[in-house]
Amino acid sequence: MTVDVSQYIDADRGLIRGEIFTSQEIYERELELVFGRSWLFLAHDSMIPKPGDFIQNYMGEDPVLVVRQRDGSVRAFMSQCRHRGMRICRADRGNAKSFMCSFHGWTYDTAGNLIHVPHEEEAYDPEVFDKKDWGPIQVPRLANYKGFIFGNWDTTAPSFEEYLGEMAWYFDAYIDRYEGGVEAIARHKWVIPCNWKFNAEQPASDMYHAEVSHASAVQVLKRPGADNGAERYAKGRGHQFSSPYGHGAGWFDTTSSSSRNPVIAAWENETQPQVAERLGEVRAAAVRGHANIFPTFMFLNNGTMRVTHPRGPHEMEIWAWTFVPVVAPPEVKEQYRIEVLRTFSPGGMFEQDDAENWLEEQRILRGYMARRNPLLYTMQLGRARRDVDGFPGVTVPHCYADEGARGMYRHYADLMSGLSWPEIVELKKSREAQAADR
């Protein structure tokens, strides 16, 4: 089966047709070509500190168990029994010595070896059945970046470091601001009836919606004595970053904490000098706004990080964590938790504004006419520059831009074209060489 998405995506001209958000055929290809070969967030070290600790996550629609081993390493394997395909583990997280499938009782150890099969001697001929061949499918590639564990099914994909590229510099502004990094302290899950890409493109690119979509929320959440964001929104002074591998980030140029919470703002401002020493002035002050590591690992400057799991073309499941600096005092951590609850949890004020937009877009795209004509992604087209203003990689000097989204859909189209990973890497190199010549 082949679907030619190039007819729907013209990233260079910023034109994208709604078909990519609604087609079942395209969705099936995404599971294989995007989620089957991209680096996907699986867990953070702080979620599974002890041997036997596990969390159950998803890679696309595939459930995977991510388990801390006795030697401190991590393994990830399908939560799918090789016997009849039942889910191996019914818990979201916990600590286990082994995993027993609740259908017929096949049992796996925490490394994913099949260790017990009920009535094995009577039922199975040892000539044709060997337990060692029937462990769950292992995720062949794992990477740990500063405590963040990512997995990839594709052994030909570039290394995680290469894939992350210049995005690492921006990612570090969120996760490596303080000695000891960050830890996860809370999680919410919920379902929204819209395509996963509507969420992903937003932190990759869309600061433009905030002034209008979040107008009431920013007034209500205004911190006493601070600007409520309206002035920042009016000026739009900021930057946007776009990566050849589809990652994106955007931020307002600020010099102090933009938190709406007085306790967090005070602590962030107080610690700003030490962050500046660690990350440099430019990165410490600005950079933090919103970002997406392609395809679906997103984070915002208030401590929320999320993954959107695809659930068919018309639905996504959000798993959102609150991450806090390990060194923050307990009362500040508690305020981060409350702040995320208030803004980007299922009942969060910003979250509801965003979800309303996405699900209406999705509903409208059921229409025949709605899908025929392109949507416009041309803000700041042609203004991309490389390595300017102290920002590595390709940026545009305004936060109202579609550069991040164009980059995301360009990479998405590369993957969906069916080219192999080595071919895609070559293609990106030749594009960069062409851009350098201009």
At 122, the amino acid letter reads E
b/e 311-321 (16+ beta carbons within 10 angstroms → b) = bebbbbbbbbb
Whether the CA torsion 282, 285, 286, 290 is positive or negative: it is positive
Footprint of ligand FES on 71-90 (CB under 6 A): 81, 83-84, 86
At closest approach, how far in Å is the CB of 101 from ligand FES? 3
Q: Smallest distance from the beta carbon of 118 to ligand FES, in angstroms?
A: 8
Stretch that binds ligand FES, among 63-71, 99-107, 270-278, 320-328 (CB under 6 A): 99-107
> Rounded to whole angstroms, how far apart are CA atoms 75 and 85?
20
Among candidates 32, 36, 9, 22, which has minimal Cα distance to 315?
Answer: 22
User: What is the closest distance, in whole angstroms, from the C-beta atom of residue 200 to Fe ion in the complex?
Assistant: 13
Instruction: Give the span between the Cα atoms of 419 and 340, in whole angstroms.
Output: 39
Active site residues: 104, 206, 209, 214, 354
Nearer to Fe ion, 194 or 328 (CB): 194
- The option from Fe ion, ligand FES, none interacting with 103 (CB < 5 to 8 A, set by class) reads ligand FES
6, 25, 98, 104: residue in contact with ligand FES (rule CB under 6 A):
104
Nearer to ligand FES, 106 or 412 (CB): 106
What residue 104 binds from ligand FES, Fe ion, none (CB within 5 to 8 A, per partner kind)? ligand FES
Q: What gap in Å lies between CA 296 and CA 204, rounded to an integer?
A: 10
Measured distance CA(175)–CA(283) in Å, rounded:
12
Considering the complex, state which of residue 30 and residue 354 has its C-beta at the smaller distance from Fe ion: 354
Q: Which is nearer to ligand FES, 81 or 210 (CB)?
A: 81
Site for ligand FES (CB under 6 A): which residue of 49, 94, 103, 372?
103
Interaction residues for ligand FES, span 266-285 (CB under 6 A): none
Q: Kindly state the smallest distance separating residue 102's Cβ from ligand FES, in Å.
A: 8
Nearest approach, Cβ of residue 124 and ligand FES (Å): 12
Q: How many other C-beta atoms are found inside a 10 Å radius of the C-beta of residue 46?
A: 16
Q: Which is nearer to ligand FES, 84 or 209 (CB)?
A: 84
Near ligand FES by CB under 6 A, which window of 27-35, 102-110, 135-143, 213-221?
102-110
Name which of 86 and 375 has its Cβ closer to ligand FES: 86
Q: How many residues bind ligand FES (CB under 6 A)?
A: 9
Nearest residue to 205 via CA among 413, 409, 392, 416: 409
- For 180, other C-beta atoms within 10 Å of its C-beta total 11
Q: How far is the CB of 171 from Fe ion (least distance, A)?
A: 20
| CB nearer to ligand FES: pick between 103 and 129 | 103
Judged by CB under 5 A, the chain residues 303 through 362 that form the site for Fe ion are 354
Q: Does 115 bind ligand FES (CB under 6 A)?
A: no
Q: How far is the CB of 79 from ligand FES (least distance, A)?
A: 11
Please say whether the beta carbons of 138 and 112 come within 8 A. yes
Q: Which of 101, 184, 298, 394 binds ligand FES (CB under 6 A)?
A: 101
Task: Give the integer Cα–Cα distance in Å for 247 and 160.
Answer: 13
Q: Where along the sequence are the contacts to ligand FES (CB under 6 A)?
A: 81, 83-84, 86, 101, 103-106
Which residues would be at the binding site for Fe ion (CB under 5 A)?
354
